[in-house]
Amino acid sequence: MSINEQESIAISYKPLEEIGYPYPTFEDPATLYEKVGQVGEGTYGKVYKARNCKTGQLMALKRIRMKTEKEGFPITAMREIKLLQKLKHERIVRLQEILVSKGSVYMVLEYMDHDLSGILGHPEFRFEPAHTKSLTKQILQGLAYLHQMGILHRDMKGSNLLVNNKGELKIADFGLARIFQKNRAGDYTNRVITLWYRPPELLLGATSYDTSVDIWGVGCIMMEFFIGKPIFNGTDEISQLDTIYQVMGTPTKDIWPSIEELPWYELVRPKEHYENVFRDTYKNTLTPGALILAEALLSMDPKNRPTAAEALEFDYFKTEEPEALLPANLLNIADDWHDFESKQRRRLQAI
């Protein structure tokens, strides 16, 4: 079986018994949890905010639909459960238990009040510079742990970064995550990472890549804090590349020696040459330290991007004022703000 066939996750299933510890509880979630509302929707089901009927504690129920008992369990969900069982860190969302009922499996996760996409879509709320620094730092702390554990996330974006009202951030959604061998680029599919956060090497067809693909996503999210919108917002792979080139410059062998080796380079070779205008465009928007860090995270050549651990050592975090501060002003936000709910609100306003 080829690598691409192994990663054809949409049609891959395994027996439910392979989930392992924590062993699934065959109880009806309706008797254990009271659903408060839907807060998300993924490939394999819906995510609900729910209250534990005994303790009153809020939890997130991630429902995973199983088409038929014979087909078994979606491999992406299996992968996410296996990884969450392994991961124990304050910046990674916690898996509490697994419930099985009436053809569905529920992952019971700790509840977080918001996600970054939802908050960034809030019409009135804005992060202060110290808050932006704290959130960027927390993302990098979580990634440093994941990468140290030998795991690529492969879907870094705002809706997968959960935040509670104390301003504490946790990385979630490990359906696309993969275990990798450290200090060695693996051979994987390039059909990962949401388009606006996908690095140029994947857009150019790379299947051999490493932790640097996650680092590009952090750079995109960091810039979103400062400018209030996605920095690269193409409509398809070609326009996404063009949008990146218009800001970061058209890559050449001088700045990216291995670019011509990428599978789709000749196929999508740009007709127009752009100069790098990143620094000139954002020098008045970002602090000097933030500008240096963001520029490094968004290096076109993935070999020039710092690791998450190296990024945490930049002057932006170590010496530049203001110091990182948890965004406790999230306590002032009425209701929960997730990407799913923000989209629902926008739809209602458009009617």
| Catalytic residue list | 155
> Are the C-beta atoms of 204 and 262 separated by less than 8 Å?
yes
Closest by CA to 248, choosing from 293, 278, 286, is 278
109: phi then psi, degrees, rounded to nearest 5: -120, 155
User: Contact at 8 Å (CB) between 117 and 158?
Assistant: yes
Helix (H) or strand (E) holding 164: none
Euclidean distance between CA atoms 136 and 348, whole angstroms: 32
Secondary structure E strands in the chain: 13-14, 33-42, 45-52, 58-65, 73-74, 95-101, 104-110, 114-115, 151-152, 161-163, 169-171, 178-179, 186-187, 208-209
Residue 347 backbone zone (phi > 0: left; psi -120 to 50: alpha; other: beta): alpha
Residues paired with 92 in a beta bridge:
171
Cα separation, 204 vs 115, whole angstroms? 30
CA atoms within 13 A on the CB side of 191: 8
Question: Helix, strand, coil: what percent of the chain each, to 5?
Answer: 40, 20, 45
Distance separating alpha carbons of residues 13 and 77, to the nearest angstrom? 9
For 242-275, the DSSP string reads HHHHHHH----TTT-TTGGGSTTTTTT--SS---
Query: How far is residue 255's CA from residue 260's CA, in Å, rounded to a whole number?
Result: 12
